[in-house]
C-alpha cells in the first residue's frame, strides 16, 4: 500500500506517525528537490537470504537510486504477506504493490506463460537467459496484460526435480502411485499424471507437514527450495531429473503501475532487468551449496543418466499443449 508524505509540516508529522505504526516509512528532501517518498511493499515467500530475496533487494536498491529516493521498496521475505496465491490476489487488488512469485501459478492468468513450465523445454542455460532477458521474455510478460499484474523480469529458479519419502525413484515407472504435491496449476497436474503418479495441489508452506504426516509421498522442486524449506529432513529420496526449468517472476500490481509516470515505469523496468544478474549469481551459489548440504544431511540423490525415458513419459503433455504453445516454443528455441 502506498504511503505519501506531503510538505505541510503538521501533516508530515501525522503521516510519519501513521507510517511508523504501519511499518512503512516516509522521507523528505530528495536530490531532485521533491519532498515526497512513496514506500512500497514487495512480497517474497523465501527467507531473507534466499537468491530471490537477494534479487528483490537489489531491485529495491536500484529503484531507489534511479528515482532519486522517491520510491523506497521494502521486501517482506519469508512469506510474511501470505502464501503465493494470496499474494497474487492481493497484488491484483493493489493491496500489495510488488511481488516475486513463481511462473507456474501465473499460468492461471496468462495461459501463454504456461509455456515456461513445459517439461524439458530448455536445453541450454545461456540461450534460456538470453531469451528470458530479451524480447521473447518481455513479450511473454506482456501477456499478463488484463490480469491486473505487470510482469517486470524473470529470476532464476534452476530446474525442478522430484523427491519422495518412500523409495529411490530411478525411472518414470518408479513414480507409479506416489502422491506428489504440485503447485496450483493444471499443467503441473498433467505432468505428474503423465508419469503415473497422483497430483495434490497445495501451497508451498503446507508441504513440510504434509510430507511429515504422510498426507503426500513427495513433491518437486529445485535444490535451494528442497534445502531451505527443510523438506530434505522429511523426504530423503531426490531424483535429479531436472524436468522443469520454469523461472521466477518479479511483478507489480497494475494499480501501482498506473500511478507511475512513464519515466518511473522505465526506471522500475530497468531496475528489474538489472537486478537479474545479482539474483542469478546468488542462485548459482546456493544451488551448489544446497546440493552439498542435503547430501551431507543424508539425502539420497538418484542421478539420472538417461533423461530420454523421462522425456518420452511426458510426451502426453506435449500432445495436449503443443499446439497452444507452438509459437512460443519456436521463439524460445530460435
Burial-class residue 135 by CB neighbours within 10 Å (0-12, 13-18, 19+).
Answer: exposed
> What x/- string results for residues 186 through 205 when contact with ligand GTR is judged by CB under 6 A?
------------------x-
Site map (CB under 6 A) of ligand GTR, residues 67-106, x = contact:
-----------------x----------------xx----
Is residue 241 a contact point for ligand GTR (CB under 6 A)? no
Closest CA to 237 of 147, 303, 326: 303
Characterize the bridge pairing of strands 179-182 and 198-201: parallel
Choice from 45, 67, 244, 279 touching ligand GTR (CB under 6 A): 45
The nearest distance, CB 185 to ligand GTR, in angstroms, is 10
Smallest gap from Cβ 163 to ligand GTR, in A, equals 12
List of residues 6+ apart from 136 with CB closer than 8 A: 328, 331, 332
Q: Is 183 in the site for ligand GTR (CB under 6 A)?
A: yes
At its nearest, how many Å lie between ligand GTR and the CB of residue 257? 21
| 221 counts as binding ligand GTR under rule CB under 6 A | yes
Phi, psi of 180 (to 5 degrees): -110, 130
Query: Please, what is the minimum distance in Å from the beta carbon of residue 210 to ligand GTR?
Result: 12
Among 248, 253, 267, 276, binds ligand GTR (CB under 6 A): 248
Neighbour-count burial for 146-171, b at 16+ CB within 10 Å, e otherwise: ebbbbbbbbbbbbbbbbbbbeeebee
Using rule CB under 6 A, residue 222 touches ligand GTR: yes
How many whole angstroms separate alpha carbon 256 and alpha carbon 43?
A: 14
Does 225 sit near ligand GTR (CB under 6 A)?
Answer: yes
Residue with cell 524449506: 229
Q: Which stretch binds ligand GTR (CB under 6 A): 70-78, 221-229, 252-260, 300-308?
A: 221-229
Nearer to ligand GTR, 112 or 248 (CB): 248
Q: How many residues bind ligand GTR (CB under 6 A)?
A: 11
Least CB distance from residue 155 to ligand GTR, whole Å?
9
Contact 275, 248 (CB under 8 A): no
Q: Alpha-carbon Rg of the chain, whole angstroms?
A: 21
Q: What are the b/e assignments for 286-316, b being 16+ CB within 10 Å?
A: bbeebbebbeeeebebbebeeeeebeebbee
DSSP sequence for 13-51: HHHHHHHHHHT-------TTS----EEEEEEE-S-TTSH
Contacting range for ligand GTR; rule: CB under 6 A; set: 2-10, 23-31, 169-177, 218-226: 218-226
157 touching ligand GTR, by CB under 6 A: yes
Q: Say whether residue 246 binds ligand GTR (CB under 6 A).
A: no
Rounded CA separation 41/54 (Å):
15
Question: Rounded distance, CA 55 to CA 154, Å?
Answer: 10
239 lies in the binding site for ligand GTR (CB under 6 A): no
Nearer to ligand GTR, 101 or 256 (CB): 101
Answer yes or no whether residue 236 interacts with ligand GTR by CB under 6 A.
Answer: no
Contacting residues toward ligand GTR, per CB under 6 A = 45, 84, 101-102, 157, 183, 204, 221-222, 225, 248
Amino acid at each position: 500500500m502506498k504511503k505519501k508524505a506531503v510538505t505541510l509540516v503538521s501533516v508530515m508529522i501525522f503521516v510519519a506517525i501513521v507510517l511508523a505504526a504501519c511499518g512503512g516509512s516516509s522521507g523528505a528532501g530528495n536530490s531532485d528537490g521533491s519532498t515526497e517518498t512513496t514506500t512500497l511493499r514487495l512480497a517474497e515467500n523465501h527467507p531473507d537470504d534466499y537468491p530471490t530475496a537477494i534479487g528483490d533487494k537489489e531491485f529495491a536498491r536500484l529503484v531507489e537510486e534511479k528515482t532519486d529516493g522517491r520510491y523506497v521498496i521494502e521486501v517482506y521475505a519469508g512469506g510474511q504477506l501470505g502464501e503465493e496465491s494470496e499474494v497474487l490476489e492481493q497484488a491484483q487488488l493493489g493491496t500489495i504493490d510488488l511481488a516475486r512469485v513463481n511462473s507456474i501459478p501465473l499460468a492461471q492468468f496468462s495461459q501463454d506463460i504456461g509455456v515456461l513450465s513445459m517439461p524439458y523445454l530448455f536445453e541450454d542455460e545461456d540461450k534460456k537467459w538470453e531469451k528470458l532477458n530479451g524480447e521473447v521474455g518481455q513479450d511473454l510478460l506482456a501477456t499478463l496484460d488484463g490480469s491486473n499484474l505487470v510482469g517486470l523480469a524473470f529470476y532464476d529458479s534452476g530446474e525442478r526435480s522430484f523427491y519422495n519419502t518412500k523409495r529411490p525413484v530411478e525411472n518414470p515407472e518408479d513414480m507409479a502411485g506416489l502422491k506428489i504435491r504440485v503447485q496450483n496449476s493444471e499443467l503441473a497436474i498433467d505432468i505428474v499424471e503423465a508419469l503415473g503418479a497422483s497430483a495434490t495441489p497445495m501451497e508451498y508452506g503446507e508441504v513440510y507437514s504434509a510430507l511429515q504426516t504422510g498426507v503426500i509421498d513427495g513433491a518437486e522442486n529445485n535444490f535451494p527450495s528442497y534445502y531451505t524449506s527443510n523438506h530434505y529432513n522429511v523426504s530423503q529420496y531426490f531424483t535429479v531429473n531436472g524436468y522443469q526449468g520454469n523461472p521466477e517472476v518479479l511483478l507489480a500490481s497494475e494499480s501501482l503501475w498506473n500511478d507511475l509516470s512513464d519515466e518511473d515505469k522505465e526506471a522500475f523496468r530497468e531496475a528489474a532487468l538489472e537486478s537479474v544478474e545479482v539474483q542469478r549469481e546468488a542462485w548459482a551459489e546456493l544451488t551448489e551449496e544446497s546440493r552439498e548440504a542435503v547430501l551431507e544431511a543424508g539425502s539420497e540423490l538418484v542421478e539420472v543418466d538417461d533423461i530420454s525415458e523421462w522425456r518420452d513419459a511426458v510426451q502426453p503433455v506435449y500432445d495436449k499443449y503443443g499446439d497452444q504453445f507452438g509459437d512460443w516454443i519456436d521463439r524460445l528455441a530460435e
